[in-house]
A = this chain, B = another copy of it.
Amino acid sequence: MELKQQATVTLAEVAEAAGVGESTVSRVLRNHGSFSGKTRERVMAAVERLGYVPNRIAGTLASTGSRLVAFVIPSLSNIVFPDVLRGASAVLEENRYQSVFSVTDYDPGREEALAAAMLAWRPAAVMLAGYEHTDGTAKMLRASGCRVVELLDLDGDALDIAVGFSNRAAGRESAAFLLKRAYRRIGYVGHDLQRDTRAGKRFSSFCETLEAAGAPLIAREILAGPSSVENGRLGLERLLARATDLDAVYFSNDDMALGGYFHCLAQGIAIPSQLAIFGYNGLDIGRAIPQPLSTIRTPRVATGEIAAQLIVANAPPQVVDLGFELIEGATA
């Protein structure tokens, strides 16, 4: 260990040490413009010797565009969002972009405040979940001049770019599948739908599809709070206490469905003969349980990847429907 901290080295010091001008150092470091091989070596040597770390704050202020992408996500507990971040950050890091994030906890007011805070960093793009924003958020985003990507939902009007799939279609196909399998007495176990609007959309189109087929939803159990395995278990327990003659249950997602599955396992309820279970998300764990979970696999990582690629490429406004895949599984 050598030099002391705090006294951060600046580009000017590197220039002085290398015996060249500041702009030359800048050119060499960004590998942009022209300079001789010798100059390059002297600059790099000075950088190395002084332990220079460029200041991106200054760099960004002086130039345009910020190689910073802001994510405003509802939650980190729901695996969906880490998955999206994972896909996006892989692509972004490859392209030397950086990711800032903040968590709204499904609160539109918080989303607005956090989006404003993110905008203050003048990101190249802000990515947020779905279409349900306050007027303030939408207005701010539009006025910011930075790219906006709405993720994981296509049922609405895009501000700029949207990448994901239709939650309504997912709900519809789930219902159609259960109907096709001849289930007619269907129930639902879900988590807080006011907050998770995408789950709400799935649920409402699920119900519509059942009604249109003359087999309306028999009973529902909505639990307060976020989705979890334990809430799924509890939800099914409560639902079955009220509605004893169900033949299938649709869950708001796989976490909840797994809870339901475990409840049946523990109670000796035969799946799917006595009760069918259908989830949403296509988590890996659903494939590893003794009977693979019937569910819809969503392109979470791909959503992040595509969104990032579009931003890196500065693509025009567009809606990208990645679709989803219905997994027949063995529980329905």
Contact = CB atoms under 8 A, between A and B. Distances in A.
A35 interface: no
B101 A89 contact: yes
Interface string A144-185: 110000000000000000000000000000000000000000
A27 interface: no
Interface stretch (A13-21, A114-122, A194-202): A114-122
B288 A262 contact: yes
Given A93-B114, A288-B230, A57 B99 contact: no
A140 B90 contact: no
Contacts of A108: none
Contacts of A238: none
A100 B103 contact: no
B93 A82 contact: no
A51 interface: yes
A98 B77 contact: no
A255 B83 CA distance: 16
Given A284-B229, A288-B229, A98 B76 contact: no
B284 A265 contact: no
A143 B51 contact: yes
A284 B228 contact: yes
A242 to B, nearest CB: 21
A49 interface: no
Interface in A238-262: 255, 258-259, 262
A85 interface: yes
A40 interface: no
A89 B117 contact: no
- Of the candidates A57, A83, A255, the one having the most CB atoms from chain B within 10 angstroms of its own CB is A57
Contacts of A114: 93
A266 B82 CA distance: 30
A39 interface: no
Interface in A73-127: 76-77, 79, 81-83, 85-86, 89-90, 93, 96, 98-103, 114, 116-122
Interface in A1-59: 1, 3, 5-8, 51, 53-59
A137 interface: no
A285 interface: yes
Interface of A: 1, 3, 5-8, 51, 53-61, 66, 76-77, 79, 81-83, 85-86, 89-90, 93, 96, 98-103, 114, 116-122, 139-140, 142-145, 228-230, 232-233, 255, 258-259, 262, 265-266, 284-285, 287-290
Given A93-B114, A98-B102, A98-B118, 5 more contacts: A1-B139, A77-B86, A98-B121, A99-B101, A100-B100
Query: Can you list the 3 inter-chain pairs with the closest CB atoms, starting with the nearest?
Result: A5-B145, A56-B120, A229-B288
